Structure 1
Amino acid sequence: MKNTYTKLAIGLLFSAGLMQSCSILQTVGLRKKETVIAAKDSTGKKDSTAAYDKLLKDAQVDSGMFTVIRKENNYYFEIPLKKMGQDILLIQKLSSVPLALNEAGVNKGMNYENKVIRFTHRKERKEVWVSEIKPQVEVPKGDAIAASVYDNYRPSYIESFKVESYSKDSSAVVIKVNKVFDGSEKSFTDVFTSLGLGTSPKTNISTIEDIKSYSNNIVVKSVLSTKVTEGNESVPVSLEITSNLYELPETPMVARFADPRVGFFTSPRWYFNDKQQELDKKNLVNRWRLEPKDQDKERYLKGELVEPKKPIVFYLDPATPKQWRQAIIDGVHDWQVAFEAAGFKNAILAKQQPDSVKFDPDDANVSSIVYAASAQANAMGPSVVDPRSGEILEADVIWWHNVMTILNSWMRIQTGIVDTSVRANVFSDEKMAHAIRFVSSHEIGHTLGLMHNMGASASFPVDSLRSKSFTAKMGGTAPSIMDYARFNYVAQPEDGVEQITPVIGAYDKYAIGWAYRWYGKTQPWDEIPLLRKEIDSHVHDPIYHYGEQQDSKNIVDPRAQSEDLGDDAMKAGEYGMLNLRRMMPNIINWTTNVGDDYYRAGKLYMGVVGQWYAYADHVLNNIGGIYLENAVLGDQKDAYSPVPKDKQVRALEYLKKNVFYMPEWLFVPELMAKTFPLRDSPIGPFEYAPYNLQREFQYAMLYKLVNDERLLRMVEMENLFGSKKAWSAPEFLTSVRQTIFAKTISGQALDLKTRMLQQNYVDVLMVSTNKSMEKLNAKKLAGIEQLVEATRPALCLHPQHASSSPVELRNVHVTGMMRTSDMLTYKRAELYEIYQLLKQKQRTGDAITKSHYMDLLLRIANTLELN
């Protein structure tokens, strides 16, 4: 059964996307009022009144947005006719999960499906129909094109209910709603499909637990059960889910149009009108509705700080361990200074949950920080958004208990040499709380609408991160806490740097000020000149640069990478490796006490290897890199420019020195006699023998070094900018070959590591020239990528925040002509050059060297079909 749980967990990781999720799940579409058909003159009024009286007898009644009537196990909504046609956001959340889903990182508080619905009274059928709305399109009512818009973006019906009775004054209809919440129908919630399980609820063991009515929301608690089959085994799965029927504001918030130079999550909006010659497509900034109180508006516009009419409030899960509560709350309050840049004081608060019986953290009026008891090591900050305006209605930070294991690993590996307090398996509560506060601030940033700004860290000069005065003044490791700039691994022991943890920085204050400043306008177009002026005043200061997140397997702009520091990856990597080298002799002392085994030592060892790989990866992505800017006319910026040629050359020199031959200090015999590097897996620890580990890391790095996209980008940049500014692919490949085969050229006998290096390099070249090898190589690389990910734990993986969909990742498309481009010619030419060299040198060196050359010659000849 444990194996079935494991399979289910792994399947959910890839099928549901929720393990990657920190997402704002939302539905978009056209707003169009539907006809409300009155029932006051119904011919069956007397019979209906009797039915209504009978229904209410001995029933429990809860008044609110709709009156909820419970009679035995049946639930009814009494819906006022005036509510027909109003926009209601159906929000679906998980409230409790079993072990099998917990293992996959699917936990309480996750929002898995939202949709905008409307109820419509169909008098002639004695029914109420429910339609799903996609409120993405807007058009002036008086324009001629409005009729066409309504016809071409109509809502779709998803459910119908029989009218059980009318209220006594015939101003409301009563419908029985069990079927859409107890698993009988999937029209309102299809949780098992949303989670990637592909099953249906078993209705005999699924039920409605409770329904509560609030002034603008209905909260439905259900338990849905199913069975998931894996091979010959089946796993029962029961979920408690919470469905919110949230009444959207009748007057949506004034939208704010997004600008790609400031990183916010967005909602799409299309504007039609008679005067235009092109459809106006906009993206709306996802943000909370912050407005000054009526009596404070003049003071606000004069520049005084005022309190907002409705502040942002987060409630802390009472399940949160007491020693971490204040740190999490402080991480929320750290954003106060950013909102002051928008003109608001006391704009964001965090509180303990009240003991009130009426208080429900699953109510969509409540934003919570949910503490999940789970082995997952992560945290995320999803939000619920009104798709008509981009207004964030509520947000929930999901805080996995085991996130502290990542923090422990990062701090020990990255700063253990300069901070003696982070060398043990267990930190002091004060030290861990300090790190928890940073994670809290980062996740709250997502709930405020901020995307990752992976380009922020590149604005700090590397050597400045070694300056005690600079780091004390600027704070943190980057000008944005929304970067994945972790802890300061650049600082050396003699530097005396004390500020080594990420904090809210200058970019964060600027971005919040840009998105949240209130201008008192009624139309988003009126704000455009003011918003652009704000950006123009900061556009040439690198501190305020926004660098979009990219696909980690295909980095285009090396300034916007995850977990890098400073403006020069080569220099930062050298400093980082100095600290790693100092750390290596201490791994056992930092992890092991008398009587302990070496499991923790092996884990930390693998973490050090992974950090070394991270430095190399940051460097490698400078080769063939393109600096990307969201340039506009008048800002004197280029949208595309190659990484300077000399910087690319320096990057390759770093790789020649530190990657082609992995550092000897990473493989200390005294340490490896006690433990190999190891990683956890669903079936137990994997121990990696050093030669095998070197081969896999080296292969992965060489494959990335000469991958198709990189070479194609080099071709593009040389074609546009010339060989003086851009490094040509042939020149680059020649330099790589001359280094890897230097000992061959000089006629030396080859040692094991050189033979491995040459075998790996020839193999990665052959893959691109032999289509039959691609599938096999993809499988091999997948295993290596899994290893790399295990050594470099990530935090806050968000599909819509950050990296769920390739569409949302910044990229430059260069893949369309791979098999007929010069890139393929270059790789075949390199293989042929190597073949000619090996033929010339095949009788040099010792016996094993000659056998090695014969093997490579046969492989290349077979690939190029030379025989």
Structure 2
Amino acid sequence: MILDKKPLKFVSIVLFLILCGANIYAQKPKKQAEPVVKKTLTDSLKKKSDSDSTKSKSMKSYAELLKKATTVNGLFKVHQVESDYYFEVPLNLMNKDFLLVNKISSVPLALNESGLNKGMNFENKVIRFSRNKLAGTVWVKTIVPQVESVKGDAITRSVNDNFTGSVIESFKIEAYSPDSSAVVIKMNKVFDGTEKSFNDVFTDIGLGTAPKTSLSAIERIKSFPQNIVVRALLSTRVTEGQNSIPISVSVTTNLLLLPETPMKPRFSDDRVGFFDTPRWYFSDKQHKMEVRKLITRWRLEPKPEDRARYLKGELVEPVKPIVFYIDPSTPPQWRKEIIAGVVDWQKAFEQAGFKNAILAKEVTDTADYDGDDIRYSEITYAASPKSNAMGPAVVDPRSGEILESDVIWWHNVMTSLQYWMRVQTGVIDKEARGNKLSDARMGHAIRFVSSHEIGHTLGLKHNMSASASYPVDSLRSPSFTNRMGGTASSIMDYARFNYVAQPEDKVTNITPQIGVYDKYAIAWGYRWLDVEDAHDELPTLSRWIKAHANDPMYRFGQQQSSLNIVDPRSQSEDLGDDAVKASRYGLANLKRLIPQIAKWSAADGEDYYQAGKLYMAALGQWQTYAEHVAGNIGGYYLENTVSGDGKNTYTPVPVAIQKQSLNYLKEEVFNMPDWLFNKALLSKTFPVKDTPYGPFEYGPYNLRREFQYGLLYSLVGEERLLRMLEMELLQGKEKVFTASELLKEIRTTVFTKTTKGLKLSITDRLLQQNYIDVLLVSTDKMLEKVTKKTLKDDTTMNLPAGCDLGIEKEIPNFAPSSDVSTASALKTIYVSSMSRTSDVAAAKRGELVQILSLLEKYKYTGDEGTKGHYQDLILRIRQSLKMN
């Protein structure tokens, strides 16, 4: 997921947030033996007992240590003696698996502005307590329980030796309980900022500083039967250049006892989009290690007495339903719609055989309620200027079981919803035109965002091919949209609102909804199977997929980097199965919208700030349509294929579609339409974009140049051209649209007036300047010496990813950054290794030479402005190619 990156007001912090879920990629290893210590003769003469052999007169008695303590019972007894906190850890919980979950509970303005807010999970780890009797200490180890081996196999001994835990903390045993069944240890140092072993918040959120212990302290500790909740205030100071600001963050740490018997896992399949966690299997019978991935899902199981009815196809209630609580901070008018967005998933769980499987509740008694307590899954409402939402989950890494989820709901998400509705559907929906929409209209949109984010908390990834499953013209049909619901077969796509429908179509069902794919995916992931081992489920799971293998409604398409689209069917914010046709319908509505912007956005006596903002959003929508179309050129249809399904994994986009797409770009990008720059509107306002420094008003010529430049740069990007070379090599140049054909088509169009000896307008010159600069910059970049990245270069913050809900696009830069991969596991085509030695570099430099020859031939044609323009281009090319 790609987020809006916004710096702190005084500190440059980039907060990277994860693919709709906080996951620990880890599984359960075998129990580790306690440290072996060589005993002395004296030791052997000491009395054997269960108590620590280092008990001495210097150790305080339990009663003496805790005589002034306030005690709370729970998973551990927690004793508070003034500002000191002690855990009484039962010996029978030593070497058990605990999950340490760290969440943000409060932030100052500077971090709020950068997108860090209450409820966000920043670090999880599995730990075990173990007692070192001779040393009189308790060690804490962190483990990565990713490995499983067959009990009794010889290789299991090696597994135990090669996947051990690492000690991260040691605590002195302060006392034993009166019956010697538990040890008492002082816990202050791991929560008050003295040590970073349990949480290292300032490193994890990207500040790279340490807590100031004199300004940090434990605020409170609660203990419950399965977990302990610790809240602490941690303070630091961040300095950059001449600026230094204090930062205080409240962090809540949950210590959760994991289930003794993990949930039976379910193996993932790349044809169904679930988040997953890795699992390695070892056995003596193998010829190689078995590598699997476990999907993340809630533990939904029929009650033992209902299993027979369940297996007959009757709907039954699960042992434990999924329950979300609405943050009491949520404005009352939105609670009903947010709850509806949660409960809408019930129809999907019915496909999995469960009724009343998912619920949402308002908090009626806040006395004992804490949204950061891992016992509660909460939809957290964040007062923030950020326009976004996210749905992370806390996962038991041994099985993939989702233990708790939180939707982070930024208040300003409504800003994005408003602009989407106005730009995409304002011309067909009178209720979606004003600066402020009705609560009813906004609530309807909030419901869809709620459902989308809850989908992530259920384990579902984005399915970006769902929108491509609907025929474009069907989106103009009231009967089709009413029957199918929404704008795509999955609410997990970024399908947005129906911009295809035209005013005369009278389509009213224009909002994304839970669709066919969502119900199928939940059934595939959650239907309970009465088998002992996850391997035994594989034939059934494959059969379920095979039943819908050729239906595009059920296809899963992975999210791709927006900077390098390979499969044009899996793009963000697109609609329908034909990007060119859908974009032309979208343009028709934009053409109707732009002349109305001032009227819709500025009532009598109001300024035109809102009009400028809406205008920028409309231009961003135009850009989005062009990007969707460009995705076809040099594109491949990618499939997660298996033997026997009759499908190809890699299929080049048909030549006719690629050429049709290029024609669209010639019309809409090479010659940007004048209606985009409506003179009546521009006399009132320029396009406006909010920045950390206030609103910026962009000149129309500047925007025209930058939008066009960014799209041209993408069109001749090295990854695209390299893929086209791959196609030519594999398919033969007669069957594909080649890179040389693309470059020739662009050159011919860009210099049409030049070859006719005509004078050039400002926009004609702009196009030629942009295209030549794109070739110069991209060629120089390709020929730069490649340096290896270090591990540190690729390290990003361990925060969950938010959904890309911002409608305002970044204005393209003159030197676009390199591709940003959203996930290493994406199916893609890697082509960029050693690109400087490829035909792409030769082709681009060859284009520059041909253009130079053309300019030399026509440099004395046209008016004075045109001649000066040609001389400038000739000098630029010669200088770049180092030609005398």
The answer (yes or no) to whether the contact 2:393–2:457 under 8 Å persists in 1 is yes
Provide the C-alpha distance between the structure 2 equivalents of 1:10 and 1:723, rounded to a whole number of angstroms: 55
User: Aligned match of 2:21 in 20, 23, 27?
Assistant: 23
Residue 358 of structure 1 deviates from its aligned partner by 3.0
- For 1:408, the equivalent position in structure 2 comes to 418
Provide the C-alpha distance between the structure 2 equivalents of 1:560 and 1:638, rounded to a whole number of angstroms: 17
Query: C-alpha offsets along residues 431-451 of structure 1, whole Å, 9 cap, x if unaligned?
Result: 000000000000000000000
Partner SS for 2:736:
coil
Provide the C-alpha distance between the structure 2 equivalents of 1:140 and 1:186, rounded to a whole number of angstroms: 36
2:858 equivalent to 1:841: yes
1:671-820 matches, cutoff 5 A:
671-771=681-781, 791-792=808-809, 805-820=822-837
2:868 equivalent to 1:826: no
Residue 611 of structure 1 deviates from its aligned partner by 0.3
The answer (yes or no) to whether the contact 1:49–1:167 under 8 Å persists in 2 is no
Provide the C-alpha distance between the structure 1 equivalents of 2:10 and 2:301, rounded to a whole number of angstroms: 45
CA 1:11–1:627 in structure 2 vs 1: closer, same or farther (change >3 Å)? farther
Partner SS for 1:121:
strand
2:849 equivalent to 1:850: no
Provide the C-alpha distance between the structure 1 equivalents of 2:194 and 2:663, rounded to a whole number of angstroms: 64
2:267 equivalent to 1:268: no
Code of the residue aligned with 2:441 in structure 1: it is K
Query: C-alpha offsets along residues 704-725 of structure 1, whole Å, 9 cap, x if unaligned?
Result: 0001000000111121122343
The answer (yes or no) to whether the contact 1:136–1:269 under 8 Å persists in 2 is yes
- For 1:865, the equivalent position in structure 2 comes to 882
Q: More displaced, 817-826 or 172-181? A: 817-826
Provide the C-alpha distance between the structure 2 equivalents of 1:596 and 1:352, rounded to a whole number of angstroms: 39
2:450 equivalent to 1:440: yes
Provide the C-alpha distance between the structure 1 equivalents of 2:358 and 2:854, rounded to a whole number of angstroms: 67
Code of the residue aligned with 2:26 in structure 1: it is V
Q: More displaced, 624-633 or 588-597? A: 588-597
Query: C-alpha offsets along residues 141-174 of structure 1, whole Å, 9 cap, x if unaligned?
Result: 2111111111111110000000001111111111
2:126 equivalent to 1:137: no
- For 1:783, the equivalent position in structure 2 comes to none
CA 1:650–1:140 in structure 2 vs 1: closer, same or farther (change >3 Å)? same
Partner SS for 2:368:
coil
Code of the residue aligned with 1:341 in structure 2: it is Q
Q: More displaced, 330-339 or 671-680? A: 671-680
Partner SS for 1:701:
helix
Residue 636 of structure 1 deviates from its aligned partner by 0.5
Code of the residue aligned with 2:16 in structure 1: it is G
- For 1:609, the equivalent position in structure 2 comes to 619
Q: More displaced, 807-816 or 663-672? A: 807-816
1:246-257 matches, cutoff 5 A:
246-257=256-267
Provide the C-alpha distance between the structure 1 equivalents of 2:810 and 2:781, rounded to a whole number of angstroms: 33
Residue 865 of structure 1 deviates from its aligned partner by 3.0
Residue 580 of structure 1 deviates from its aligned partner by 0.5
The structure whose RCO (Cα within 8 Å, separation 6+) is larger is: 2
Code of the residue aligned with 1:34 in structure 2: it is Q
CA 1:297–1:394 in structure 2 vs 1: closer, same or farther (change >3 Å)? same
- For 2:84, the equivalent position in structure 1 comes to 74
Provide the C-alpha distance between the structure 1 equivalents of 2:187 and 2:341, rounded to a whole number of angstroms: 41
- For 1:211, the equivalent position in structure 2 comes to 221
Residue 638 of structure 1 deviates from its aligned partner by 0.2
- For 1:651, the equivalent position in structure 2 comes to 661
- For 1:778, the equivalent position in structure 2 comes to none
CA 1:599–1:773 in structure 2 vs 1: closer, same or farther (change >3 Å)? farther
Q: What RMSD, in angstroms, separates the aligned Cα atoms of the two structures?
A: 2.0
- For 2:602, the equivalent position in structure 1 comes to 592
The answer (yes or no) to whether the contact 2:23–2:277 under 8 Å persists in 1 is no
Partner SS for 1:638:
coil
Provide the C-alpha distance between the structure 1 equivalents of 2:251 and 2:826, rounded to a whole number of angstroms: 31
- For 1:195, the equivalent position in structure 2 comes to 205
CA 1:185–1:704 in structure 2 vs 1: closer, same or farther (change >3 Å)? same
Query: C-alpha offsets along residues 31-76 of structure 1, whole Å, 9 cap, x if unaligned?
Result: 2323469962456779699610112323111111111111111111
Provide the C-alpha distance between the structure 1 equivalents of 2:12 and 2:353, rounded to a whole number of angstroms: 44
2:42 equivalent to 1:32: no
Residue 810 of structure 1 deviates from its aligned partner by 3.7
Query: C-alpha offsets along residues 461-502 of structure 1, whole Å, 9 cap, x if unaligned?
Result: 100000011101110000000000000000000001010000
Identity of aligned residues (%): 59
Q: More displaced, 695-704 or 58-67? A: 58-67
Residue 861 of structure 1 deviates from its aligned partner by 2.1
CA 1:128–1:39 in structure 2 vs 1: closer, same or farther (change >3 Å)? farther
Provide the C-alpha distance between the structure 2 equivalents of 1:402 and 1:137, rounded to a whole number of angstroms: 43
- For 2:99, the equivalent position in structure 1 comes to 89
Provide the C-alpha distance between the structure 1 equivalents of 2:542 and 2:596, rounded to a whole number of angstroms: 53
2:352 equivalent to 1:345: no
2:556 equivalent to 1:558: no
CA 1:314–1:610 in structure 2 vs 1: closer, same or farther (change >3 Å)? same
Provide the C-alpha distance between the structure 2 equivalents of 1:297 and 1:146, rounded to a whole number of angstroms: 35
The answer (yes or no) to whether the contact 1:257–1:282 under 8 Å persists in 2 is yes
Provide the C-alpha distance between the structure 1 equivalents of 2:424 and 2:134, rounded to a whole number of angstroms: 70
Residue 103 of structure 1 deviates from its aligned partner by 0.6
2:507 equivalent to 1:490: no
Provide the C-alpha distance between the structure 2 equivalents of 1:341 and 1:221, rounded to a whole number of angstroms: 40
Provide the C-alpha distance between the structure 1 equivalents of 2:764 and 2:435, rounded to a whole number of angstroms: 37
The answer (yes or no) to whether the contact 1:21–1:804 under 8 Å persists in 2 is no
- For 1:540, the equivalent position in structure 2 comes to 550
2:290 equivalent to 1:297: no
- For 1:799, the equivalent position in structure 2 comes to none
The answer (yes or no) to whether the contact 1:318–1:353 under 8 Å persists in 2 is yes
- For 1:371, the equivalent position in structure 2 comes to 381
The answer (yes or no) to whether the contact 1:385–1:393 under 8 Å persists in 2 is yes
- For 1:661, the equivalent position in structure 2 comes to 671
Query: C-alpha offsets along residues 241-262 of structure 1, whole Å, 9 cap, x if unaligned?
Result: 1000011111111110000000
Provide the C-alpha distance between the structure 2 equivalents of 1:304 and 1:412, rounded to a whole number of angstroms: 44
- For 1:782, the equivalent position in structure 2 comes to none
Residue 684 of structure 1 deviates from its aligned partner by 0.9
Code of the residue aligned with 1:857 in structure 2: it is I
User: Aligned match of 2:637 in 627, 652, 660?
Assistant: 627
Query: C-alpha offsets along residues 518-544 of structure 1, whole Å, 9 cap, x if unaligned?
Result: 002221100000000000001100000
The answer (yes or no) to whether the contact 1:137–1:271 under 8 Å persists in 2 is yes
Provide the C-alpha distance between the structure 2 equivalents of 1:102 and 1:331, rounded to a whole number of angstroms: 26
- For 1:286, the equivalent position in structure 2 comes to 296
CA 1:27–1:650 in structure 2 vs 1: closer, same or farther (change >3 Å)? closer
CA 1:701–1:42 in structure 2 vs 1: closer, same or farther (change >3 Å)? closer
Residue 640 of structure 1 deviates from its aligned partner by 0.1
Provide the C-alpha distance between the structure 1 equivalents of 2:187 and 2:806, rounded to a whole number of angstroms: 46
Q: More displaced, 233-242 or 480-489? A: 233-242
Residue 768 of structure 1 deviates from its aligned partner by 3.2
Q: TM-score, normalised by structure 1?
A: 0.94
The answer (yes or no) to whether the contact 2:142–2:165 under 8 Å persists in 1 is yes
Provide the C-alpha distance between the structure 1 equivalents of 2:57 and 2:366, rounded to a whole number of angstroms: 41
User: Aligned match of 2:470 in 453, 460, 474?
Assistant: 460
Q: More displaced, 761-770 or 293-302? A: 761-770
Residue 420 of structure 1 deviates from its aligned partner by 0.2
Code of the residue aligned with 2:361 in structure 1: it is K
Code of the residue aligned with 1:106 in structure 2: it is L
Residue 231 of structure 1 deviates from its aligned partner by 1.8
Provide the C-alpha distance between the structure 1 equivalents of 2:299 and 2:569, rounded to a whole number of angstroms: 33
Provide the C-alpha distance between the structure 1 equivalents of 2:56 and 2:782, rounded to a whole number of angstroms: 78
Q: TM-score, normalised by structure 2?
A: 0.93
Partner SS for 1:300:
helix
Query: C-alpha offsets along residues 402-449 of structure 1, whole Å, 9 cap, x if unaligned?
Result: 100000000000000000001001111100000000000000000000
Query: C-alpha offsets along residues 224-281 of structure 1, whole Å, 9 cap, x if unaligned?
Result: 1111112222111111110000111111111100000000100011111111111111
Provide the C-alpha distance between the structure 1 equivalents of 2:862 and 2:174, rounded to a whole number of angstroms: 92
Q: More displaced, 803-812 or 218-227? A: 803-812
2:271 equivalent to 1:258: no
Residue 812 of structure 1 deviates from its aligned partner by 1.2
